[in-house]
Amino acid sequence: MDDSKVFVVTSGKGGVGKTTVTANVGACLALLGYNVCLIDADIGLKNLDLVLGLENRVVYTIIDVVRGNKDPLEAVVKHKLLKNLNLLASSQIANKDMVSEQDMINLVNELSKHYHYIIIDCPAGIERGFKNSIAPAQQAIIVTTPELTAISDADRVIGMLENQGFSEQRVSLIVNRLKPRMVQRDKMVSPDEIKNALAVELLGVVPDSEEIIVSTNEGNPLVLDEKNRLSVPFKNIAQRILGNPIPISEDISGSSEDGFLGFIKKLLGRR
């Protein structure tokens, strides 16, 4: 497709929510009717298939494509409930050195003929897997939690993206696992402070919630449950990707208890 958009979801620190964001934002775009392909670039580990509940459906992986045994489209599996949400899975028996930047560019070029949105779930770290994942991407989404170690690693990744030619407009930030009560008590840095420290645009704020862990463990992206209030931040992120400027304060308004709402709006309103 001529207007196909390619995103990479990256971080510095591991375990901050890249796979969760990839699965849920991808599902939101698919729910809006777009053809979406998620790519698990975490070669050797893999877990996007588990989060999507597709582990038993995967027959071919990115390695089969890179080796030329399968066309990218033949290796992709469809989500059980959401047919326009697709996954190109990673291989647990392979290692990152089996894939090159050019391999990634070639396979994304091929897939972009068929999908509106391609979202690459990047492995942690700044090694080979990171470079492979960012090579075909037009836009980078950096995920961080509101902790100093994660923010500092995110900063490093922003620097590396700049070195690789990503301009400011091509980089945005998602703050995941925010605890509004902790921000209010000054026990946690606010999304605004993080945004200012890293000097990139905020794409969204996702609250910390046990429900997200449960949905991960069940292999069911929570946004598929339309009524779940936690789907709001992911839906808002999808809308912002589409170019609709939903205020960031809308992301956590539903999850903060009465009385916190005004505070949070004030906190996040100064974008």
Ligand X SMILES: Nc1ncnc2c1ncn2[C@@H]1O[C@H](COP(=O)(O)OP(=O)(O)O)[C@@H](O)[C@H]1O
SS3 content of the chain, % helix, strand, coil (to 5): 45, 15, 40
Q: By Cβ distance, which residue is nearest to Mg ion?
A: 19
3-class secondary structure, 165: coil
- Contacts with ligand X in 89-128 (CB under 6 A)? 124
* 177, interface contact from Mg ion, ligand X, none, CB < 5-8 Å by kind: ligand X
Q: Which stretch binds Mg ion (CB under 5 A): 10-18, 144-152, 190-198, 242-250?
A: 10-18
235 forms part of the interface with ligand X (CB under 6 A): no
Q: Which stretch binds ligand X (CB under 6 A): 15-23, 70-78, 180-188, 252-260?
A: 15-23
213 forms part of the interface with ligand X (CB under 6 A): yes
Write out 25-85 in H/E/C secondary structure.
HHHHHHHCCCCEEEEECCCCCCCHHHHCCCCCCCCCCHHHHHCCCCCHHHHCEECCCCCCE
The DSSP H or E segment spanning 174 is strand 171-178
* 147, interface contact from Mg ion, ligand X, none, CB < 5-8 Å by kind: none
* 14, interface contact from ligand X, Mg ion, none, CB < 5-8 Å by kind: ligand X
Which residue number, 46 or 195, has a Cβ lying nearer to Mg ion? Answer: 46
What does the radius of gyration of the chain's CA atoms come to, in whole angstroms? 18
Phi/psi-derived region of residue 68, left when phi > 0, alpha when psi is between -120 and 50, beta in every other case: left
Query: Rounded to the nearest whole angstrom, what is the least distance from the CB of residue 19 to Mg ion in the complex?
Result: 3
In the chain the first and final C-alpha atoms are separated, in Å, by 33
The burial class, CB within 10 Å (0-12 / 13-18 / 19+), for 167 is: exposed
- Residues binding ligand X: number (CB under 6 A): 17
Which residue number, 17 or 72, has a Cβ lying nearer to ligand X? Answer: 17
Sheet holding 5-10, edge to edge: 77-78, 85-88, 36-40, 117-121, 5-10, 139-144, 171-178, 201-207
Which residue number, 74 or 218, has a Cβ lying nearer to ligand X? Answer: 218
Contact 211/229 with Cβ under 8 angstroms? no
Which residue number, 183 or 237, has a Cβ lying nearer to Mg ion? Answer: 237
Q: Which stretch binds Mg ion (CB under 5 A): 16-24, 127-135, 190-198, 237-245?
A: 16-24
* 199, interface contact from Mg ion, ligand X, none, CB < 5-8 Å by kind: none
Candidate residues 19, 84, 86, 236; the one interacting with Mg ion per rule CB under 5 A = 19
154 forms part of the interface with ligand X (CB under 6 A): no
Rounded-to-integer distance, Cα 177 and Cα 187, Å: 14
| Footprint on this chain of Mg ion (rule: CB under 5 A) | 18-19
| Footprint on this chain of ligand X (rule: CB under 6 A) | 11, 14-20, 124, 176-177, 206, 208-209, 212-213, 216
